A and B are shown apart, each in its own frame.
Chain A
């Protein structure tokens, strides 16, 4: 009960003076937590009065109720002096429980981060499981943190829904060395591809220095890895529709959403094997490179200027493909690409017996225009290959997580074979 006596009036006056002060409560710097021991009902009343003075922004961790129990108050820095003066002038006993809250919070935050990184840490990250986008992005950070002299994370732009598109750069130095490009997850429902790419990143990073092949490769060339080429689609497969394939761009004049990002490249764009219907899974989009995700990759490749190989991961069907898809004629480098492809498929099969068919897109899978490796090949990147990973239809897109690591391990052998050939034929 508030009694209008002189002491209380002084209180109000005193604290009101502080009301005009500017509060900057974004951090807790300088804030203290006081433990107050009220020894009588009167003192409790005074503390309850304190509670009502909103401009002090006091945060009662333990509220004043009876004299037996301590009252804990978080006092923001600007109010500290006033509150202490008040307590002292009324002979109310108190002690400082926490001297500087912000310092404590910082320490705790850092500990949490360290814990998470240790817990997650690339040695504890479960590469044999499917992860949502945030976890994958965190794993990229962890890789860069764990192998700072080899791995760095860069952004090549944003997706339609403004998600960052991160690539990992594997480099042992030099300036603008010739490089290999590897991407996954352009079709978001093909979950084994993002998972394989992440495992591959760890593999490259951890094997540099011990594996002579990858070591000699990285001593001469860089590797760029885009784990999630279509982050909007990937997020959508987790929240709404596991079978979503396309981007999530809005199409003017249509209720349907999304463009098939692998029909959107400037290679025979709009030709056979792509749909003009926005509601179709293979809709090529309003124009070549209309999809920002595609444009970002194209821009990166062009501005880098020294990409020697363009490798991309899809699922499923167990195929190793090279151009062309937009036309059913063989590329000029057919013989070489076929030989490299066959060697890669053979290396892949050597591990778990998984058989892959090798050939041009058109003859092996189907005619499809606007595809990424057709663009890269016509752009001048001879070693352009697309993998269709496990399986052959039993589980299809819903490949059990138990097959992630076996798939990644065998695919690695195939990728390495191709990369070695690129390294040796520069």
Chain B
């Protein structure tokens, strides 16, 4: 009897011991790996999250820049992609003053063209002031009989003509859409300069701008030229069309809320997120 059960046990035992025999063998999906706050991929992911936020907020007066990464975690999902969990501070784009903290996930998917972003931020900047600033820019542009035009913003010496500053800020917002779309885990972008801005006088409620922008691509160091068409009404999603010189087709923003690629609303309810 015993000899019979031992015989059946044998192969079972072997099976259990196989992983040891192979050595390391195939590993299960890794648990979240904490990254150093100075890790460049963490910073890059935070920037992608902010591109998405700046585009979705669609407000030249509410643009944010990255402050400091406070916490970063990376989860690798084999065959699917890399998901970053981030906590970072933000600064007002113009004044550099701290304007709040954000929690975000940035999911670089192997099969999708652009990173999926979830971001939730605190606001310390006065919302009323933001709306007023946006509206006063909007009103001024609506009142133009001659279209606003400009070149090289900032110029070689870093100057931005005060009259053109809001148009520059709108270019940053519009470029944010494009930079979010183009970003990958390893390729990041900054808007280096507005080479050209030209306003289209519209008959409807929107203000409409044509931009030529130059993006700085990291780590390749290339300067990418893109054309942007930005159509904006305060309180409405930005409408952005773009065409970069290395590509051969126009890309457009969606009319909807873009929930499939990310969201800025809702409670952060990822169980695995430890912050």
Interface positions of A (Cβ within 8 A of B): 129-130, 237-238, 242-243, 245, 260, 273, 275, 280-282, 355, 357-359, 363-368, 392-403
CA distance A365 to B40 in the complex (A): 6
- Would A394 and B93 be within 8 Å (CB), given that A280-B220, A366-B218, A399-B158 are in contact? yes
Q: Please give the distance in Å from A58's CB to the nearest CB on chain B.
A: 48
- Asked if B192 and A398 make an inter-chain contact with CB atoms under 8 angstroms apart, the answer reads yes
Which residues of B sit under 8 angstroms from A130, Cβ to Cβ?
156-157
Decide: A400 and B157 in contact? CB cutoff 8 A: yes
On B, residues with C-beta under 8 Å from A are: 38-40, 47, 65-66, 68, 93, 96, 154-159, 190, 192-193, 214, 216, 218-223
Q: What are 17 sample pairs from A and B whose C-beta atoms fall under 8 A apart?
A: A130-B156, A242-B193, A243-B192, A243-B214, A243-B223, A282-B219, A282-B221, A357-B38, A365-B40, A366-B218, A392-B66, A394-B96, A396-B190, A396-B192, A398-B157, A401-B159, A403-B158
Partner of B65, one of A242, A357, A359, A393: A393
User: Which residues of chain B are near A364, meaning CB under 8 Å?
Assistant: 38, 40
Chain A residues whose C-beta falls within 8 Å of the C-beta of B38 in the assembled complex = 357-359, 363-364
B158 engages A400 (CB within 8 Å): yes
- Interface contact B219-A366, CB-CB below 8 Å: yes
**Which residues of chain A are within 8 angstroms of B39 by Cβ–Cβ distance?**
363
- Alpha-carbon separation in the docked complex, A366 to B96 (Å): 26
Docked CA distance A364–B214 (Å): 25
Give the number of residue pairs across the A-B interface with Cβ within 8 Å: 73
Q: Which of B38, B192, B220, B221 has the most CB of A within 10 A?
A: B221
* Least CB distance, A130 to chain B, in whole angstroms: 6
Asked if B222 and A280 sit within 8 Å, CB to CB, the answer is: yes
Interface class of chain A by DSSP: loop
A353 → B minimal CB distance (Å): 10
Assess whether A392 is in contact with B65, with CB atoms less than 8 Å apart.
yes
- Residues of chain A within 8 A (CB-CB) of B158 are 395, 398-403
With A281-B223, A365-B40 known, 12 other A-B pairs at CB within 8 A are A242-B193, A260-B221, A275-B220, A363-B40, A364-B38, A392-B66, A393-B47, A397-B192, A398-B154, A398-B156, A400-B159, A401-B159
Find chain A residues with CB under 8 A from B154 CB.
395, 398, 400
CA distance A237 to B93 in the complex (A): 27
Give the Cβ gap from B2 to chain A, nearest Cβ, in Å. 56
A282, B222: Cα distance in complex, Å? 8
Q: Note all chain B residues with C-beta closer than 8 A to A366.
A: 40, 218-219
- Distance in angstroms between the alpha carbons of A288 and B221 in the assembled complex: 20
User: When A363-B40, A366-B40 are in contact, do A394 and B65 touch as well, CB less than 8 Å?
Assistant: yes
Rounded to whole angstroms, the CA-CA distance of A401 and B214 in the bound complex is: 20
CA distance A281 to B223 in the complex (A): 8
Q: Which residues of chain B have C-beta atoms less than 8 A from A281's C-beta? A: 220-223
Q: Is there an interface contact between A355 and B220, defined as CB atoms closer than 8 Å?
A: no
Give A281 to B217 CA distance when docked, in angstroms.
10
Q: Which residues of B contact A129 (CB under 8 A)?
A: 157
Question: Given the complex, which residues of A lie within 8 Å of B40, measured CB to CB?
Answer: 363-366
User: Is the beta-carbon distance between B219 and A368 smaller than 8 angstroms?
Assistant: yes
Report the separation of the CA atoms of residues A272 and B155 in the bound assembly, to the nearest whole angstrom: 34
User: Which of A130, A394, A397, A403 is packed against the most chain B CB atoms within 10 Å?
Assistant: A394
Please give, as numbers and ranges, the residues of chain A lying within 8 Å of B96 by CB-CB distance. Answer: 394
Cβ-closest 8 pairs across A and B: A400-B158, A366-B219, A281-B221, A393-B190, A357-B38, A398-B154, A398-B158, A242-B156
CA distance A368 to B218 in the complex (A): 12
| Contact partners of B218 in chain A: CB under 8 A | 366
Chain B residues whose C-beta falls within 8 Å of the C-beta of A395 in the assembled complex: 154, 158
CA–CA, A158 and B158, complex, Å: 30
Compute how far the CA of A254 lies from the CA of B1 in the bound complex, rounded to whole angstroms. Answer: 83
Closest to B216 in A: A396
Kindly state the separation between the CA atoms of A353 and B47 in the bound complex, as whole angstroms.
Answer: 21
Q: What distance in Å separates the Cβ of B180 from its nearest Cβ neighbour in chain A?
A: 15
Residues of B within 8 A of A245 (CB): 221
Which chain B residues lie closer than 8 Å to A260 at the CB level?
221
Q: What's the Cα separation between A62 and B218 when bound, in Å?
A: 66
Give the docked Cα–Cα distance between A358 and B220 (Å).
21
Q: Say how far A198's CB is from chain B's closest CB, in angstroms.
A: 16
